[in-house]
Structure formats: structure tokens, C-alpha cells
Amino acid sequence: MGGIPPRPAPPPQLDAPVALIFSPHPDDECIIGGLALRLMREMQFRIVNVAVTLGSNKERRAARLAELKNACHWIGFELAETGLENITPAARARDADSWMSAVRTIARLLAKFQPAAILFPHELDWNSTHIGTHLLIQDALKTLPPSFTTALIETEFWGQMPSPNVMVELSAVDVADLLAALSFHVGEVQRNPYHLRMPAWLQDNVRRGAELVGGQGGAAPDFVFATLYRVNTWQDGCMKQSFAGGKIIGAKDALTPILG
């Protein structure tokens, strides 16, 4: 339940490349953040977690924000708050003015940070706020100038992606650190012990990714833990394929092949 002494780490350089994690709820940044953690540690990225919402329970929002700050501080992610709520497909259809205000908020963050990569939920991630966040990011990207370019890294949590194209191995140290950071979300892991169940999910990703990413009938890699992503490129005002086929990135492999 948090309270773990911090790991000493040098602060990122202010001119370092930036990856933004668009987290529908506090704690998502730890659960799907394996690739972000590796980008920070191996390529010296600045990782900025954008708290899209603080959850639907208004009585828990202050506590969730405090827990989120503790988790991000421990793992080494920066934090940007949006103050948004009701980020769902229903809200998008029902209240165009409020939705466009939220789109402008996200567009300003994208313009400010000029990220080399963004992580956000895929369109079938089941939870309404996860799907809403996907739509919000897509709508915000469409408002930016054609010169804006970034790697689009779609993530999964509640709903599995039917077509991931990248499997990223996580070392035991990476997993332990993600779990440690996740444990700072005290109220959430008391409600549902994600930090205890997450390793099994990471292990099952190796089973799925062996064929979904590596190809049907392919041999499973000798990984223990992995996360699955779908990587494309935003360029000239639209999403474009970054590469053909799938890529399996081991713990000792460079990450550059998936960033275009």
C-alpha cells in the first residue's frame, strides 16, 4: 500500500523527447506503462502522465489525485492534470460544446509538449471512459496542423486488442517497479488488487502476443512478462501504418524500431 522508499534516479533533461500517457483514470499509467517505463530508462524520454479524469466518484477524486501524485513521483513520471470529466462516447454525442472544450484542452497539451509518442486506449477498451479517451485523442489530433507528427501507441486494459502489432518484454525489475508504483493507488488496490493480479496478465500477454504479434503458429519467445500495443504514426493529419507485420521487442532489444 505505497510507502516504499523511492528509487534514486536522475531527473530527465528538459530537452529530452517526450511521451505522453493519456490515462482515463488514475492507476492506468502503471498498468499499461511498461513501454513508457522502458522509454524513460533506456532512451531518456520524459514521460508525462496526463490524468484525463480522476474517476466518476467525486468523493474519491481528491484522494485519487494524491495517490496519483505519489505513484508518478515514485516511478519517475511527470503529471499533467486536465480537470476533465464525462469523457465517454455518450457525452460526446450528447453535448458537443463540452466535448469540443475537452478536445481543445487535449490539443493544447499536444501542441505544448510536441510528443514523440503518445499512449492512449484502443477503441475497443470496453470501459466507457477508456473508449471516450480514445475518441478524445483522435478528435484532438485532427485539430492540429498537418505538420504535427507523433507515434500513436494504443494500449489495452479492460478490453483486449484484436490486432496488436508490438509485444514489449518487461524485465522482472520493470514489473516490480510498476507494481510498487501501482500500490500507491491505495484506494483502488483495496477495492480491486490490481497489483497482485497484474503479473498474471503480463504473463498471459506473452501467450497471446506470440501469435497475435509473431504470427500464427510462431514459437513463443522465452519471455516471462510483456505488454501488447498497436503502434502507428500520425502524419499529414491522419493515422498511417508505421510498419508491416508485428515486432517482438525483448528486454535487451532497442526500442527504436517501433518509433519510426
What confidence category does residue 237 fall into, taking pLDDT thresholds of 50, 70 and 90?
very high
Q: Which CATH architecture has domain 18-255?
A: 3-Layer(aba) Sandwich (3.40)
pLDDT score for 260: 65
Global model pTM greater than 0.85: yes
Residue 1 has pLDDT above 90, yes or no: no
In angstroms, the CA 66 to CA 57 distance is 15
What confidence category does residue 14 fall into, taking pLDDT thresholds of 50, 70 and 90?
confident
Q: Where are the domains of the chain?
A: 18-255
What confidence category does residue 138 fall into, taking pLDDT thresholds of 50, 70 and 90?
very high
State the amino acid at position 29 in one-letter form: E
Q: Which three cell numbers stand for residue 234?
A: 500520425
Mean pLDDT of the chain: 96
Residue 151 has pLDDT above 80, yes or no: yes
**pLDDT tens sequence across 179-235:** 999 999 999 999 999 989 999 999 999 999 999 999 999 788 999 999 999 999 999
